[in-house]
C-alpha cells in the first residue's frame, strides 16, 4: 500500500509508539490493509506491525477520547450494531413477508418506511425507503453513482463491490453487462430499471418469488433471499444459497 504523502517519518515513529503503548481504549489493532479480496484465515501473511492506517486510526481515536469528544463505549456499540444486528437478514424478512402477505406487500410498495418499521427496522439511511418490485417483465437494479448510498436498516453496510468504481460507473450505462457478470441473464424484452440513489431516498428491490416455493414457510422463504437479490444483481433461487449474502 502506498504511503500517504503527508506522513513524515517522525509521525510514523510516533504512531508506532502509540500502538505499542496504548492498551485498550480502542481495542486491538490488527494489520490488514491488504484485506480486499482475501479470505480471512489466520494462516497467511500475519503481521505483527500494525498498518499505517490502523496506527493513524488508533492515534486519532486516542486523541478524540482524551479530549472528551467521543465515548469509546458508544463507538463499540455502533460497530457491534453494524456487524451483528443490521444486515441482509432484515431485508430478507421484509421480502418474505411481502411474498406471503399481499396486504403487507401493498403497504410496502406504497409506504416502505412504515411497512419496514412494522417489522422493527428503522432509522439511519432508511428514513426514506422506496421498494421497487421485480416481475416477469421488469428488473430493477440499485446503485449510487456519486458515493455509497445504501439501505442500511434492511441490508447493513454495503459490500466493497457496490462502492467500487466498476459498479458505480457501469451500472447506469451497461446494466445488462454488469448483471451478466453476476450470472444474471435477462431476455431482451425485459425492461431494466436502474435506480441511482442521488438524494436521501434509499432503494430496496423486492425480488420475484421463485417458482416451486409454494410449500415453504415465511421463515424458509426468508432464508432464500440474498443481499445481492435485494440490490438487484441476482435473482432469488429456489434453494438456499448457503448463507448470506
Among residues 178, 222, 230, 236, the one that binds another protein under rule CB under 8 A: 178
137 as an active site residue: the answer is no
Q: How far apart are CA 85 and CA 81, in angstroms?
A: 5
Query: Does an H or E element contain 62, and which?
Result: helix 52-66
Grid coordinates belonging to 218: 415465511
Confirm or reject binding of residue 199 to another protein (CB under 8 A).
Answer: yes
Confirm or reject binding of residue 20 to another protein (CB under 8 A).
Answer: no
Q: How far apart are CA 60 and CA 57, in angstroms?
A: 5
Among residues 133, 201, 210, 223, the one that binds another protein under rule CB under 8 A: 201
147 as an active site residue: the answer is yes
Among residues 47, 101, 164, 217, the one that binds another protein under rule CB under 8 A: 164
Confirm or reject binding of residue 49 to another protein (CB under 8 A).
Answer: no
241 as an active site residue: the answer is no
Classify each residue of 41-70 as buried b or exposed e, where b means 16 or more C-beta atoms within 10 Å of its C-beta.
Answer: eeeeeeeeebbbebbbebbebbebbeeeee
Catalytic residue among 8, 122, 137, 144: 144
Q: How far apart are CA 55 and CA 20, in angstroms?
A: 10
Residues 69-108 that bind another protein (CB under 8 A): 69-71, 73-79, 81-83, 87
217 as an active site residue: the answer is no
Catalytic residue among 123, 147, 164, 169: 147
Catalytic residue set: 144, 147-149
Amino acid at each position: 500500500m502506498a504511503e500517504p504523502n503527508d506522513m513524515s517519518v517522525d509521525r510514523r515513529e510516533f504512531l508506532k509508539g502509540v500502538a505499542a503503548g496504548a492498551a485498550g481504549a480502542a481495542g486491538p489493532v490488527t494489520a490488514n490493509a491488504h484485506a480486499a479480496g482475501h479470505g480471512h484465515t489466520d494462516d497467511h501473511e500475519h503481521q505483527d506491525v500494525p498498518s499505517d492506517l490502523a496506527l493513524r486510526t488508533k492515534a486519532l481515536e486516542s486523541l478524540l477520547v482524551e479530549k472528551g469528544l467521543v465515548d469509546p463505549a458508544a463507538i463499540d456499540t455502533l460497530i457491534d450494531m453494524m456487524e451483528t444486528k443490521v444486515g441482509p437478514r432484515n431485508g430478507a424478512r421484509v421480502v418474505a413477508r411481502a411474498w406471503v402477505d399481499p396486504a403487507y406487500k401493498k403497504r410496502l410498495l406504497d409506504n416502505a418506511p412504515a411497512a419496514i418499521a412494522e417489522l422493527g427496522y428503522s432509522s439511519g439511511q432508511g428514513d426514506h425507503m422506496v421498494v421497487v418490485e421485480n416481475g416477469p417483465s421488469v428488473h430493477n437494479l440499485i446503485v449510487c453513482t456519486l458515493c455509497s448510498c445504501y439501505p442500511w436498516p434492511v441490508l447493513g453496510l454495503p459490500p466493497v463491490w457496490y462502492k467500487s468504481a466498476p459498479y458505480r460507473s457501469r451500472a447506469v450505462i451497461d446494466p445488462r453487462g454488469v448483471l451478466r457478470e453476476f450470472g444474471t441473464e435477462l431476455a431482451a424484452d425485459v425492461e431494466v430499471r436502474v435506480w441511482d440513489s442521488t438524494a436521501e431516498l434509499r432503494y430496496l428491490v423486492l425480488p420475484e418469488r421463485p417458482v416451486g416455493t409454494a410449500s415453504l414457510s415465511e421463515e424458509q422463504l426468508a432464508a432464500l433471499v440474498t443481499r445481492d437479490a435485494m440490490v438487484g444483481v441476482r435473482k432469488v433461487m429456489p434453494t438456499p444459497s448457503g448463507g448470506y449474502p
